[in-house]
Amino acid sequence: MALVRAARPSPPPSRKESGLSEPAVPPTTVPPTTVLPTAVPPTLSAGLLLVVLIVAFEAMAVSTVLPRVADDLQGLALYGWASSAFLLSSLFGAVFTGLLSDRRGLAVGASVSLAVFALGLLGAGLAPTMPVFVLGRLVQGLGAGGLGLLPFAVITSRYPEQARARMLAAVSSAWLIPALTGPLIASLIADAWSWRAVFWGLLPVLVLGAPLCILPLRNAPKPSEQSASGPGGLVSRRVLWPALGLSVASGSLIEGLRRPDLWGLALVAAGAVGIALTSRSLFPAGLWRAQRGLPAALAVRGLAAFALLGTNSFLPLALHELRGLTLTQAGGLLSVGGATWTLGAWLQAQLERRFGPHTRPARVRAGMLGVLAGLLLTTAGVLGGLPLWSAYVGWFVACLSMGIGYNSNSLFALASADSQGAGAGELSGQLANIEVLMVALAAGAGGALIARATPLSTAFALAFGVTLAGAVLARVVAVRLQAKG
């Protein structure tokens, strides 16, 4: 699945807001205040950007080659897990690495995350069977989650105030390039050599970038034990076990959907209860009721991600199986999505500047309506109800609308958090976590339908129906966003 985030370091917009990829999780509290060095080693900037580029390319590229992986390893039944395992482990990986960095320093946190991510790349590239590939993706997610918080933490603690904006812009640009080119490049590599080369090819670049990033961090000041447990640390210990519980509960629900027996029903029930209990510690009260204010904004974000990014998780496979497109052709469509999401984000900024913050709820509602209309057109084009070109038009409309509505919703959420006294770092974690959770559930539900329903055309019709329902709910809940009078 090519959509969603290892983390753009700026709070609260996440990396998906400039393209389509896989979400990892940013820090859940504001990084500690530290004594900044007078000069930043040039190698640190180069290494940090290389690491971001690697994680971004991998996130954007994977969904394009997943159909080839499933075919080669005869693992269509586990297709959804290839995305869900990565996403759910990234949620816990971000929290764990934040705690490790608080206790042992950023150099240790970065080293562990890079090593785990590299191990996951190697495992996925060498996988002889689909279960081993899914395990490799799970390991990748643990590393990617930690790497997702790295830019935010490093820029905050190691860069002087006057250099931070420039470095944040550079990191955002490092996400933009893979968002526009990653799916297409990955498909060309898979066609010319092997899908395995998409994973192996990143390892030499990772080996090059790791020392440039880690070595300058060895002398970074270490947060105190007090900051690690209080509001100044990268993460709070109180969210570690809920994050793990949420990941396990979500995995239980996804596996239950995939199983056609009584165990499946039990896993679904246990997973639903687990999600309800653990989410209390990670999200504000009223989230699942879409209570007005910040809870409604988070609900809109989650439902929108469920709809668009969930569709993205199985869209290349549907185009390949139902319409006979090659990986390169399917990758081209995903690249179109990344470009138009970016265009939508730019348009949103112009609208914000011209019409002001009070129009954000209207922009969110219009964006969610556009996502719904675009996904309906995409669905009809993929399933054969309309010509294939309509799928491209629909995806363009959906991603453009997402760029407008998603970013407007993030700005609304930030304003709502300010009024409730929530920190920007805490909100950044909530925005990323709800996205990761909902995309993982959408990918898992779609994968379960593909594994269980026959023929494939029916399975894809049901999967599109599930994500379209998410788009309908996102539009309905968006009505609960109200401008401050």
The CA distance from 290 to 301, in Å, is 11
Chain centroid to CA 21? 6
Does domain 15-478 fall under CATH 1.10.8.50? My reply is no
| 3-state DSSP assignment of residue 314 | helix
Strand ranges, E, within 112-214: none
The CA distance from 36 to 439, in Å, is 37
- What single DSSP character describes residue 290? T
φ/ψ of 27, rounded to 5, equals -60, 155
Give the mean pLDDT of 151-170.
75
* The pLDDT of residue 167 is above 50: yes
The CA distance from 346 to 403, in Å, is 8
Looking up tokens 């999967």 gives 463
Confidence of residue 159 (pLDDT cuts 50, 70, 90): confident
φ/ψ of 284, rounded to 5, equals -70, 155
The CA distance from 206 to 53, in Å, is 10
In this structure, of 58-62, 315-319, 436-440, 475-479, the range with the lowest mean pLDDT score is: 58-62
In this structure, of 41-50, 202-211, 235-244, 322-331, the range with the lowest mean pLDDT score is: 235-244
pTM value is: 0.84
Q: How far is CA 148 from CA 15, 23, 165, 299, 300, in A?
A: 10, 9, 18, 22, 23
Going by C-alpha positions, the residue among 90, 87, 434, 444 that lies closest to residue 256 is 444
Confidence of residue 25 (pLDDT cuts 50, 70, 90): very low
Sorted by where each begins, the domain ranges of the chain are 15-478
Looking up tokens 């920190």 gives 423
Structure confidence by residue, pLDDT tens digits, 355-393: 998 999 999 999 999 999 999 999 999 999 999 999 999
Note whether 307 and 401 are within 8 A (CB): no
Sequence-ordered list of residues with C-beta below 8 angstroms from that of 16, at least 6 positions apart, any chain: 3, 4, 5, 23, 305, 309, 341, 406, 435
The CA distance from 121 to 58, in Å, is 9
pLDDT number for residue 426: 67
Give the mean pLDDT of 422-445.
81
